[in-house]
Amino acid sequence: MTVLTPEILLTAYTHGIFPMAESQDDPELFWVDPERRGIFPLDDFHLSRSMRKFIRSNPFHVTVDTCFRKVMKACAEPAKDRENTWINRPILDLYTELHLQGNAHSVEVWRDDKMVGGLYGVSFGAVFCGESMFSRESNTSKLALAYLVARLNAGGFKLLDTQFLTDHLASMGAIEISREEYHRRLDQAVNLEADFYSLEGDASPDDIIQSITQTS
């Protein structure tokens, strides 16, 4: 049996394939290449007036890559619309290794010293594959997503993958495309260069909004 390594995992992503587990307690993984794929259009990301106002006035502090594994564990916790998770121990360990290698990132939302929202995903070329997000206070996952999109736009990313399209993601502007169209866009973006850290860590709310809307 082939042992799944971070290198094999990253290669799979470059071919449009990603792993999942049946449950948190299942040690096995299976590969997925959906017929329909969810993405966020980076050049036409919808930022509502209410979200712009929230970004400008929110009481939270947003960071990147300060506690990647903690974000993954938070994403694996039961939620109202998800009693179980596909994030098992092998996935937790593999993606942590990808993070240490510089190919996986997290966005964290804080109220004082408490993490109240966030997301994580895999990056390579000019592609970011969003894996999961969580929210412990209203709108904190949306805030993490907005800061991610601003960072991806600033860094020259071309594709933001959401794997599947859910009602929650659709409400934030995600769309669904065919497998063939996804692979076409992936092939175009995988060999391009992008910089996840091009956006300054102390970017102001107006900087975030400008980065999101300047390509729209």
Q: How much is the mean pLDDT over the chain?
A: 91
The answer to whether the beta carbons of residues 178 and 154 sit under 8 Å apart is no
Domains belonging to the chain, first-starting first, are 6-213 (3.40.630.70)
Residue 82 — pLDDT band, cuts 50, 70, 90?
low
pTM assigned to the model: 0.93
Residue 78 — pLDDT band, cuts 50, 70, 90?
confident
Residue 171 has pLDDT above 90, yes or no: no
Percent of the chain with pLDDT over 70: 95
pLDDT in tens, 21-53: 887 778 889 999 999 999 999 988 888 888 899
* pLDDT at res. 144: 95
Distance CA(61)–CA(113), nearest Å, equals: 9
Residue 80 has pLDDT above 70, yes or no: no
Distance CA(159)–CA(174), nearest Å, equals: 12
The answer to whether the beta carbons of residues 42 and 152 sit under 8 Å apart is yes
Which segment of 84-93, 102-111, 137-146 scores lowest on mean pLDDT?
84-93
> Residue 88: which of 78, 80, 76 has the closest Cα?
76
Mean pLDDT of 162-180: 90
Sequence-separated (6 or more) residues with CB below 8 Å from residue 127:
13, 157, 158, 159, 161, 186, 189, 190, 194
Residue 216 — pLDDT band, cuts 50, 70, 90?
very low
Percent of the chain with pLDDT over 90: 69
Mean pLDDT of 2-13: 91
Which segment of 34-38, 66-70, 154-158, 172-176 scores lowest on mean pLDDT?
172-176
